[in-house]
Amino acid sequence: MTVEKAEMRLKILYFAWVREKTGRAFEEVDVPLGIATVADLVTWLKTRGPEFELAFARSDVIRAAIDQVHAKPTAEIANAREIAFFPPVTGG
């Protein structure tokens, strides 16, 4: 008999106004089975409370990095150890 892992443990980092709105710089979370992409993770994070819903309200402008490599919303997170979320960076 095999036992399937029901969730995956991830370290999630929040930067700039994403950090301010969530009220935390990072956390380790158990992500439910079925969360396969960055976009899936954002959708799930929004369900964790009003601070997350507010932080990810404009998820179309939030950028992500998987293990310190920029990633698109469609990127798979299956083997990720760390995912970071941050607003776009502008320079001048």
Tokens of 5: 């892992």
Burial readout 35-58 (b: 16 or more C-beta within 10 A, e: otherwise)? bebbbbbbebbbeeeeebeebbee
pTM attached to this predicted model: 0.89
Quote the CA–CA distance of 91 and 13 in Å, as a whole number: 22
Cα 40 to the center of its chain, rounded Å: 9
Domain residues of the chain, as ranges? Answer: 8-86
CATH for 8-86 (3.30.2130.10, 3.90.1170.50, 3.10.20.30, 3.10.129.10): 3.10.20.30
Indicate the helix (H) or strand (E) that contains 53. Answer: helix 50-55
Q: What is the pLDDT of residues 25-35, one digit of tens each?
A: 999 999 999 99
pLDDT score at 7: 82
